[in-house]
Amino acid sequence: MKFQQNVDLQSLNTMAVPSVARYFFIAQTLEDIRLALAFASKEKLSVFVLGGGSNSLLPEKLDGLVIQPLLKGVECIENSAESSWVRAGAGENWHDFVMHCLSAQYYGLENLAYIPGLVGAAPIQNIGAYGVELKDVFHSLEAMDRATGEMQTFNFSDCEFAYRESVFKNRLKDRMIIASVTFRLQRQAACNLSYPALASALEREADGKNPEKVAEAVIKLRQRKLPDPEYIPNAGSFFKNPVITEAKASALKLAHPKAVIFDVDGSHKKVAAGWLIDAAGWKGREAFQVRVHDQQALVLTNPNRVSRHHILTLADAIRKDIEQRFGITLEREPGLFSE
């Protein structure tokens, strides 16, 4: 058992905030996780679970044990005429897994290509992009109860998925450690082009559309709009797209005809938070040493690698401004890790 002490986590979170963990431990097996939990309980340490660090705002000091579950393995566990059930370990890199499935001709994950992070974190916030959410391809997951070390299976309805939400961010927050996720993928190639920006990117494809081309287009779109955390630290979208009532959406459209608004259901609409922040003049601005990305105002970047306090201060200023201008409240997307 290797428990490292006073470990710098700056390179393990894509926002590159400085953060030091009192103890840090990489778990490669379920038994490793159980031993780490036993150590924490014996030493009376708080436990924090870190995935790929792509949706977390770490504090400067983590006084406890940080476990990074890097359980590996990808296998097809069942096939039917239409579907394949593919299980991936929580520690698999998400994008590599998407590309592996594509080359093995298991379809359905293409629209989610190039999202940073690990497989195990994907269900927690029900990752989504270009018209597909994780819940659309999810079958089940296996997770360990932190209190007992017992494994539990979570089927679709147990996960209580919603837009960037699941039971693991709410009722079961900090209670379970996800070990593997099983996806139900399709054996027939089909393309989901419901997202307008993706459909128009593929319109120019002369020789037909297929899932490989969809993945390629998604990768290009993301590379164009979103900063590469390797060079410009960021955590993707910093706010969720707010869901507002139909009446509020009509009033917004009347006052701002260019506002970008999508349908949700009969009585609700979703506003592009990027449009709100952009329209308020924040795009490309730097304040508190943190910068609003100049290609996509929904992304805050941390070029100076400052602590999360600075990032939260800018986020708060943006939130207040949007509230004043549009009467709409923005909700943060990345988790605070310890709250």
| Min CB(87)–ligand EPU separation in Å | 24
| Min CB(12)–ligand EPU separation in Å | 18
- Known catalytic residue: 237? yes
**CB closer to ligand EPU out of 88 and 298:** 298
Measuring CA to CA, which residue among 235, 225, 228 is closest to residue 300? 235
- Known catalytic residue: 333? yes
**CB closer to ligand EPU out of 19 and 111:** 111
| Min CB(225)–ligand EPU separation in Å | 5
DSSP codes joined into one string, 228-280: -TTTS-EEEESBPPPEEEHHHHHHHHHH-TT--EEEEETTEEEE-HHHHHHHT
**CB closer to ligand EPU out of 66 and 298:** 298
Question: Exactly one of 83, 237, 291, 308 is catalytic; which is it?
Answer: 237
**CB closer to ligand EPU out of 187 and 253:** 253
Question: Exactly one of 160, 325, 333, 338 is catalytic; which is it?
Answer: 333
| Min CB(38)–ligand EPU separation in Å | 35
Count of CB atoms within 10 A of residue 133's CB? Answer: 19
What is Dmax (Cα atoms) for the chain?
63
**CB closer to ligand EPU out of 32 and 278:** 278
| Min CB(99)–ligand EPU separation in Å | 17
Q: Name the residue with tokens 């990752």.
A: 127
DSSP codes joined into one string, 175-228: TEEEEEEEEEEESS------SHHHHHHHHT-TT---HHHHHHHHHHHHHHHS--
The C-alpha angle with vertex 151 and arms to 149 and 157, in degrees rounded to 5, equals 130
Q: At 150, list the tokens.
A: 């017992």
Taking the chain, what is the end-to-end CA distance rounded to the nearest angstrom? 28
User: Which residues in this chain contact ligand EPU in the complex, by CB under 6 A?
Assistant: 129-130, 195, 197, 225-226, 236-237, 240-241, 260, 272, 274-275, 278, 283, 296-298, 333
Residues 40 and 58 sit within 8 Å (Cβ to Cβ): no
φ/ψ (deg, to 5) at 108: 130, -15
Question: Exactly one of 164, 184, 291, 332 is catalytic; which is it?
Answer: 164
- Known catalytic residue: 212? no
| Min CB(183)–ligand EPU separation in Å | 19
CA-CA-CA-CA torsion sign (235, 226, 159, 9)? negative
**CB closer to ligand EPU out of 37 and 99:** 99
Q: How many helices (H) and strands (E) would you count in the chain?
A: 7, 18
Q: Which residues are catalytic?
A: 164, 237, 333
